[in-house]
Amino acid sequence: MKVSVNDLHKAFENRTRLGIMSALAVNDTLDFNSLKELLDVTDGNLASHIKTLEKEDFIGVKKSFIDNKPNTKYHITQKGKTAFEKHLNVLEAIIKSQK
């Protein structure tokens, strides 16, 4: 099977979205501030990339309050997990094809 960069998912071309998906793939949930700290991005930057992934239904959101303060947690959806795994498999196949 021939694999090319055209087989990669466009949603994961950005380093921030790739970071969000990577972090959520290995954690059940992460809150907004944890993601922001982990990825070293601004609030606005993170929020816009989260919206993109939410529109694709790749991540889910749960809003709550902790000590009367808003807390937003994110998780990877099954659709997101499947798409991300496919993306990683394509990357791996591209790398292996160059050996």
* Residue range 2-33, pLDDT digits in tens: 777 788 899 999 999 999 999 999 999 999 99
CA 60: distance to chain centroid? 10
- Residues near 92 by Cβ (< 8 Å), separated by ≥ 6? none
Structure tokens belonging to residue 88: 């990683």
Q: Report the top-level CATH class of 7-92.
A: mainly alpha
Buried b (16+ CB within 10 A) or exposed e, 28-45: eebebeebbeebebeeee
Of 63, 71, 72, 80, the C-alpha closest to 24 is 80
pTM: 0.89
Q: Is the pLDDT of residue 66 over 90?
A: no
Percentage of the chain exceeding pLDDT 90 = 77
Q: Is the pLDDT of residue 59 over 70?
A: yes
